Structure 1
Amino acid sequence: MFTIADRERLREELIDTARKDEEVIGAALVGSAATGREDTWSDIDLMLQIRDGADPGAIAEQWTSDFYARHGAVHHLDVFAGNVLYRVFLLESSLQVDVSFWPHDQFRGTEPGFKVVFGTPNPSTEPNAPDPVGMIGMGWLYALHARSAIARERHWQATLMLDHLRDEILALACARLGLNPHHGREADRLPPNILDALHHARAVSVDSQELIRSKRALLECFATEVALHDQALADRLRPALDHLAN
């Protein structure tokens, strides 16, 4: 397990590497390090601005080789947002390090936590607002698949679909109350009445009757949350949700 000192030492080393890289003209910290909320479990989030005319993908490969050769990387995965590559590394120590490679003209703050280390960023943008309509659509879709999985005695598939339904309910509640719904980051700040209802609605086994009970309870939570977002939509959905509950 990594220590806070290990994390700080590696972060400074990465920043030093960025300063010395002729293809990198800017760097910023994001996440907990930029907002003063780091704790024992925090990772490293580093944004790099790539020189105009350089290939961010080629720079990413150079950094990746360094991570495996010098920093104890055991695996990595890529996430793309537009033209920006986010490369997420897992180190032997279990420390997660996210390094994003930004084209020169796109390097900017996209969330409240954005701490420039060096360079000149472009004007910041506001993060995309949560999409309750999309969450509602995914909610009833997961409920539909949970019903058919239970009927087909695919109990583990049903469990997975019910978990996804619960996640959409949590995200809807977070979005409604101004909390960050991404990966449940602020779900623990939801009011007790919401969390208690979801706690009791969660299936405690993969038995058919328990899955049916969970489905009905989660659909009730879902219907309540939809109504708090859009009563007219909740009224339209109600007959279909009643069928899904049975």
Structure 2
Amino acid sequence: MFTVEERDRFRKRLLARAEADDTVVGAAFTGSYADHEGDRWSDTDLVLAVRGDLTPTLDRWTGWLYDDLGARHHWDLSVGAGVIRVFLLPGWLELDLTFAPETEFGPRGPQWRTVFGRPRPLEPFAPPDADTLTGLLWHHALHARACIERGRWWQAEHWISALRDHVITLACLHLDLPSAHAKGAHLLPDDLSAELATTLVRSLAAEELHRALTAVVAAARTELAHSRPELATRLTPMLAELTNTPVT
């Protein structure tokens, strides 16, 4: 694994190259390194503002990361008119390198530290939609129950675990905690964390899957009662029917 010193040297090389690149007119750190030093496991998130067509700059940087820094793999995510190219480097160094047009160089969240260039005021990324997440709760619960009845154990486990993820996201939203990728899950109240711990699937036996489904549906009912009480009144009897548990 990489050392902190290796990661710091890597970041300095990235910034030196960005400052020497005539097509790069801005650079900023995002992620944990933007507002503090991160920790032993923090990766590197760097945004580059690119003048003109992104493709030549993206190709040139990709070649450099493979030829000079030994990158092992990369994959892409789209963000507006830009591209996030995610690199894996030796020692398990991860680089999330965003190539953004000048007009889309700016913070969309609180974690942003400009190194050089002029950031633009941009709309923040929209939070997850609570209505969609609520719909996924009952959808996943229904499909988990069907998979248990069909004897599709792995698929049942998939739906149960996905349902738990959405309960965590909804809880983080209503408590104003970071909601993406369970980043605020460790800050949830102890009683909710304890309830969520009972939802973990411990084996693929039908009885265990039904127990875990019952537990995660109970957690979903608890969350809805806190965040969407009117909707919880409508859905609770149906969710209870799905797991054959009494309405309380």
Query: Fold-level match, TM-score > 0.5?
Result: yes
Task: Indicate whether 1:216 and 2:229 are aligned.
Answer: no
User: Runs of 5+ in structure 1 lacking a partner?
Assistant: none
| Aligned residue identity for 1:177 | L
Match of 2:243 in 1: 245
C-alpha distance in structure 1 between counterparts of 2:243 and 2:55, whole Å: 48
C-alpha distance in structure 2 between counterparts of 1:87 and 1:97, whole Å: 8
C-alpha distance in structure 2 between counterparts of 1:71 and 1:244, whole Å: 54
Q: CA 1:176–1:74 in 2, change beyond 3 Å: closer, same or farther? A: same
C-alpha distance in structure 2 between counterparts of 1:102 and 1:147, whole Å: 44
Match of 2:18 in 1: 18
C-alpha distance in structure 2 between counterparts of 1:134 and 1:61, whole Å: 37
Q: CA 1:148–1:58 in 2, change beyond 3 Å: closer, same or farther? A: farther
User: Runs of 5+ in structure 2 lacking a partner?
Assistant: none
Match of 1:122 in 2: 120
Q: CA 1:243–1:82 in 2, change beyond 3 Å: closer, same or farther? A: farther
Give deviations 1:177-210, integer Å, cap 9, x for gaps: 1110110112011111001011112221111000
Match of 1:41 in 2: 41
Does structure 1 retain, via aligned residues, the 8 Å contact 2:170–2:223?
yes
Does structure 2 retain, via aligned residues, the 8 Å contact 1:108–1:125?
no
Does structure 1 retain, via aligned residues, the 8 Å contact 2:104–2:122?
no
C-alpha distance in structure 2 between counterparts of 1:37 and 1:227, whole Å: 38
Match of 2:107 in 1: 109
C-alpha distance in structure 2 between counterparts of 1:142 and 1:63, whole Å: 42
C-alpha distance in structure 2 between counterparts of 1:87 and 1:126, whole Å: 20
Task: Indicate whether 1:99 and 2:97 are aligned.
Answer: yes
Taking every aligned residue pair, what percent have the same amino acid on both sides?
A: 39
C-alpha distance in structure 1 between counterparts of 2:225 and 2:84, whole Å: 37
* SS in structure 1 of the partner of residue 123 of structure 2: coil
Task: Indicate whether 1:29 and 2:29 are aligned.
Answer: yes
| Aligned residue identity for 1:62 | R
C-alpha distance in structure 2 between counterparts of 1:212 and 1:30, whole Å: 42
Moved more, 143-152 or 124-133: 124-133
| Aligned residue identity for 1:202 | L
Does structure 1 retain, via aligned residues, the 8 Å contact 2:140–2:163?
yes
C-alpha distance in structure 2 between counterparts of 1:169 and 1:219, whole Å: 9
Aligned match for 1:142, one of 135, 140, 162: 140
Moved more, 124-133 or 163-172: 124-133
Deviation at 1:37, TM superposition (A): 4.5
Root-mean-square deviation (CA), in Å? 1.3
Match of 2:192 in 1: 194
Give deviations 1:29-80, integer Å, cap 9, x for gaps: 11111110410000000000011xx211332121111111111211111111
* SS in structure 2 of the partner of residue 205 of structure 1: coil
C-alpha distance in structure 2 between counterparts of 1:245 and 1:61, whole Å: 53
Deviation at 1:22, TM superposition (A): 1.1
C-alpha distance in structure 1 between counterparts of 2:243 and 2:53, whole Å: 52
* SS in structure 1 of the partner of residue 91 of structure 2: coil
Deviation at 1:124, TM superposition (A): 4.3
C-alpha distance in structure 2 between counterparts of 1:50 and 1:143, whole Å: 45
Does structure 2 retain, via aligned residues, the 8 Å contact 1:29–1:117?
yes
Match of 1:62 in 2: 60
Q: Which structure 1 residue ranges, 4+ long, deviate > 3 Å from structure 2?
A: 124-127
C-alpha distance in structure 2 between counterparts of 1:112 and 1:68, whole Å: 31
